[in-house]
């Protein structure tokens, strides 16, 4: 899967799996905000890039959310993405790809290839966070 390979390339390039360090090295600002209905968001304003992460989440979940948002910057550089907690009937392939990127980045290619991880990644990030 391309998104897992991309995560491995990024981890190797920066010699870390820490998404906060990677964001810093990629000149992406990470800000912690008291969101009510968001886990995180990725936003590009010209050449300025920002990841907003919910300050009320536990730190391991924040890392996964930051990795997810990094996935959008790496895999889908043309868009701005908001990852909303609210239940929806539609879940895009972009969100699945960002989830798989996040797992690959944080935990490695081997973990990301398990069938149950791919199944969980096809849902919302709160389901993905339950594996922590």
Q: Among 11-15, 76-80, 86-90, 119-123, name the most confident range.
A: 11-15
- Alpha-carbon gap, residue 41 to 75, rounded angstroms: 15
The domain made up of 2-129 has a fold known as Arc Repressor Mutant, subunit A (1.10.10)
Q: What pLDDT, on the 0 to 100 scale, is given for residue 89?
A: 36
pTM for this predicted structure = 0.83
C-alpha 96/C-alpha 27 separation (Å) is 24
Residue 121 has pLDDT above 60, yes or no: yes
Give the three-state DSSP class for 31: strand
Per-residue pLDDT at 15: 98
pLDDT in the model for residue 80: 56
DSSP conformational letter for 89: S
Distance, in Å, from the CA atom of 110 to the CA atom of 114, rounded to the nearest integer, reads: 7
Q: Give residue 110's pLDDT.
A: 80
Phi and psi torsions of 76, nearest 5°: -135, 60
Q: Which residues touch 93 (CB under 8 Å, ≥6 apart)? A: none
> How far, rounded to the nearest angstrom, does the alpha carbon of residue 54 sit from its chain's CA centroid?
13
8 Å CB contact between 75 and 97? yes
| pLDDT tens digits for range 27-65 | 999 999 999 888 888 888 878 999 999 999 999 999 999
Q: Within the chain, what is the greatest distance between any pair of CA atoms? A: 38
What distance lies between CA 103 and its chain's CA centroid? 8
Report the chain's mean pLDDT, rounded to a whole number.
82
pLDDT class of 109 with cuts at 50, 70, 90: confident
pLDDT at position 29: 97
């Amino acid at each position: 899967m391309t998104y897992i390979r991309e995560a491995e390339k990024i981890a190797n390039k920066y010699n870390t799996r820490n998404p906060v360090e990677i964001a810093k090295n990629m000149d992406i600002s990470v800000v912690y905000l008291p969101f009510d209905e968001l886990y995180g968001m990725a936003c590009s304003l010209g050449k300025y890039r920002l990841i907003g992460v919910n300050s009320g989440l536990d730190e391991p979940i924040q890392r996964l959310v930051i990795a997810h948002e990094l996935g959008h910057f790496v895999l889908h550089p043309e868009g701005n993405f908001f990852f909303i907690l609210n239940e929806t009937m539609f879940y895009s392939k972009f969100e699945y790809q960002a989830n798989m990127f996040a797992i690959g980045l944080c935990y490695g290619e081997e973990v990301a290839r398990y069938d149950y991880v791919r199944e969980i990644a096809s849902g919302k990030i709160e389901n993905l966070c339950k594996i922590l």
